[in-house]
């Protein structure tokens, strides 16, 4: 007898697969490339190894420890959210998007929590090595996130006569990111475009919208 793929199992499966892909890519780069080393794939796509202590796409906001703890709390909330909304009529596509967001957040948390104590520091002159626990480049919760995807799709120099930006070199798209960042971004964008209605359902699903509509009819 075949087991039914429940919504909970589906989310767990997607999170696990995305996490495995994310960590395979990061470990391949971390243990195989020097810091700031790049591999030319096409003129608009490079594998460019960099590390950042901040949030997605290299942004640095607040302290490192705060960001790591914030991510962990956010993951806990998302897992709780999924446990509450499963089986309540939410579209499977919406659950897939949430699963990708959870996977992306968890992928970057793994870097922050584990990479510092178990890897030597990456430098422009040497490749990082796996070391005994606690002998790495920093302590637990303070590791740097490994980024590698760089898409300089278009670049130009601004005319000199423009105020503030005149003469500056501009690159689109300049942020360097990783697979986990892509999971988060794709999940959020897909929800905003295709499933924004679900955001108004709270944790009760379509039933909450029906109840609200019925309540409005009573007052008419």
| Residues with a known catalytic role | 147, 181
Q: How far apart are CA 5 and CA 62, in angstroms?
A: 41
* Cβ density class 194-217: b for 16+ within 10 Å, e for less: ebeebeebeeebeeebeeeeeeee
* Cβ density class 63-94: b for 16+ within 10 Å, e for less: ebeebbeebbeebeebbeebeebbeeebeeeb
> Can you tell me whether residue 47 is helix, strand or coil?
strand
């Amino acid at each position: 007898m075949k087991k039914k793929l429940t919504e909970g199992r589906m989310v767990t499966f997607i999170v696990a697969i995305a996490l495995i892909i994310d960590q395979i890519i990061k470990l391949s780069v971390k243990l195989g490339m020097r810091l700031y080393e790049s591999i030319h794939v096409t003129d608009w796509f490079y594998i460019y190894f960099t590390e950042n202590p901040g949030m997605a796409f290299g942004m640095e906001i607040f302290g490192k420890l705060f960001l790591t703890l914030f991510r962990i709390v956010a993951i806990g909330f998302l897992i709780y959210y999924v446990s509450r909304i499963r089986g309540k009529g939410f579209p499977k596509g919406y659950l897939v998007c949430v699963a990708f967001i959870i996977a992306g957040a968890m992928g970057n948390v793994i870097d922050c929590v584990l990479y510092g104590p178990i890897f030597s520091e990456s430098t422009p002159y040497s490749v990082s090595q796996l070391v005994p626990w606690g002998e790495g480049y920093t302590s637990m919760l303070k590791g740097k996130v490994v980024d590698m995807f760089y898409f300089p799709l278009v670049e130009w120099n601004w005319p000199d006569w423009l105020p503030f930006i005149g003469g500056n070199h501009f690159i689109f798209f300049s942020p360097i990111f990783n697979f986990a960042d892509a999971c988060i971004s794709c999940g959020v964008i897909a929800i905003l475009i295709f499933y924004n209605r679900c955001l108004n359902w709270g944790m009760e699903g379509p039933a909450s919208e029906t109840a609200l509509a019925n309540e409005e009819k009573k007052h008419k």
